[in-house]
Structure 1
Amino acid sequence: MASLSAFWRYGVVKTARKWRAAALSPLLAARGEAAVRSSYGVLMVPNWQDTTFRYCIFGTYGRDLADLLLGYPEDFVFVDIGANQGLYSLIAAQNPRCRRIIAFEPVPATHARLAANVALNDGAARTVLHPLAIADSAGEVTINVAADHTGTASLAGREGSSGAGDVTIRTINAPLVDPLLAGELPMFVKIDVEGLEAVVIAELAKTASFSRVAAIFYEVDDRWANAREIETRLRASGFTRFAKYGRGHHYDVLATRS
């Protein structure tokens, strides 16, 4: 029964949302609106040529993380690593228990859209934006960005990267990350960095702030990530519960402490 439910939610429904986005996007783009309200209730600056934007508008990503953020029951800080255009930072800001939002998005053009979207919605005063990527060293590196799908930008060096959209970004590692996360409230961390999740988690684990991380929602693609390796590292840091969201080789995991 569970597998049938997963097939329906992450196979049939998600595919239908993708088709709907493809069919309706040209019609909505023709309106020329200055801001578009997404299926998640937040406003976004139009970016219709981008698949990631269309998925945000039509709810293609589903409700899993959105509902976790909206329903978080105690005061917390949301840390959005790989924020892209800011969908989940904007959703977190809708929860009054979210006292602060710290978003990392290193690609300059995408970061500009993130900033514009934050300005459109409530919560801007609680949101801190960093044009940075978290990696195992600090400096400048090249990242490949697809013009029509910003959500696939990756530092992981996966096969098939064309190099056609290479841009230079800044990276920071644990010693530089730690002061950016300083505080007292528990943190809910989202990591979506297209294959570099294990590296980001390893750097977070080196910080003094990591003890305040209550939950991590991270993406896994079995084609280029080792889910067992990530879980083992997190268990060594005190995380004991792991819930899978999705099916097939590409899914998400919520890790929480006892």
Structure 2
Amino acid sequence: MRSDVRYVLRHPFYGLRYALFSAYYAVSGFNHRHELYASRKHAGPASFRSYELSDKHVDDVLLGRLLRACEPGDVVYDVGANTGVYSLAVAAVEPTARVVAFEPNPDVAAQLRTNVDRNGFGDRVAVREEGVGEETETRRFHRSTYDELGSFDARNAGAWEASVRDEIDVRVVALDDIASGELPAPDHLKVDVEGYGLEVLRGARETLRSARPTVYFEPHTEGGEDRTDEIASLLRSLGYRIRVRPGAWLCIPTAAEAAETVD
């Protein structure tokens, strides 16, 4: 699908959707910047406030599974945190858990911090304005006209009717470079990164082998190539069993010796 303005103008449904989504992100951004109204959101047993206008993602199957599994003192890595639904819900339901939220888009990271501060979760949620990938480096990030679609892959940033708004250089870290050193190793790893998930997992091989976190993975294929088979193969080679749900993978570590085998 082409994502330029001429295309959506020639197709009324997509044009209407483009207009609605563009308006939503503009108003939501304004609400965050000026901290006008933070509505209460409910995600399972979690209750928190957010300047996000809608209740998107509060009913995600992976979020529900994470909230049920999170125990006192657990460490959660939220990779692709966006405005913070997963991070805020974990902090609300388990006050002793520690959340590390990674968000490379500076504008969205600022919205995430605003939501964290609004709930007084600054001691529970550490916001890192950086991406996560195969190695620690600086990479070009494509910001989308739909904030939520920003990606290191321009094709995903231009999915649906969206287009690439601009490009910026951002810091990217490999989880293997910071887990169990700069940061405590994760008990739970959520990955929702608009087509960049394979790189995230490649940069976390040793962490997955040693820490054995449960992985909550959202596969993306729109706008780019389908690499889900390669992702599944990598996870299985590291000793993970994958439970597939619509638009979601729950990846559970099996016995430690399974990490030595490759499917």
Match of 1:49 in 2: none
The alpha carbon displacement at 1:193 in A equals: 0.6
Do 2:133 and 2:203's aligned partners in 1 also have CA atoms closer than 8 Å?
A: yes
The alpha carbon displacement at 1:96 in A equals: 2.1
Cα distance change, pair 175–245 in 1 and its aligned pair in 2 (3 A): closer
Normalized against structure 1, the TM-score is what? 0.73
Counterpart code for 1:123: F
Do 2:71 and 2:97's aligned partners in 1 also have CA atoms closer than 8 Å?
A: no
Identical pairs, percent? 22
Q: Which of the numbers 124, 134, 137 marks the counterpart of 2:135?
A: 137
Q: Which of the numbers 35, 38, 48 marks the counterpart of 1:35?
A: 38
Counterpart code for 2:104: P
- Uncovered stretches (5+) of structure 2, i.e. residues with no partner: 1-16, 255-263
Which structure shows the higher strand fraction?
1
Do 1:140 and 1:169's aligned partners in 2 also have CA atoms closer than 8 Å?
A: yes
The alpha carbon displacement at 1:190 in A equals: 0.6
Match of 1:166 in 2: 167
Q: Spell out the pairing of 1:20-99 with structure 2 (5 A cutoff).
A: 33-40=36-43, 41-45=47-51, 53-54=52-53, 57-59=54-56, 62-72=59-69, 74-75=71-72, 76-96=74-94, 99=97
Normalized against structure 2, the TM-score is what? 0.71
Secondary structure of 2:116's match? helix
Q: Which of the numbers 158, 181, 184 marks the counterpart of 1:182?
A: 184
Q: Tell me the distance in 2 between the aligned counterparts of 1:192 and 1:120.
A: 24
Q: Tell me the distance in 2 between the aligned counterparts of 1:35 and 1:226.
A: 37
Aligned residues: 219
- Uncovered stretches (5+) of structure 1, i.e. residues with no partner: 1-17, 46-52
Q: Tell me the distance in 2 between the aligned counterparts of 1:152 and 1:222.
A: 12
Do 2:62 and 2:248's aligned partners in 1 also have CA atoms closer than 8 Å?
A: no
Match of 1:256 in 2: 252
Q: Tell me the distance in 1 between the aligned counterparts of 2:76 and 2:157.
A: 33
Cα distance change, pair 203–257 in 1 and its aligned pair in 2 (3 A): same
Q: Deviations over 1:213-232 (max 9, x none)?
A: 33111111344332221111
Cα distance change, pair 152–167 in 1 and its aligned pair in 2 (3 A): same
Q: Tell me the distance in 2 between the aligned counterparts of 1:135 and 1:160.
A: 17
Do 2:150 and 2:156's aligned partners in 1 also have CA atoms closer than 8 Å?
A: no
Do 1:81 and 1:190's aligned partners in 2 also have CA atoms closer than 8 Å?
A: yes
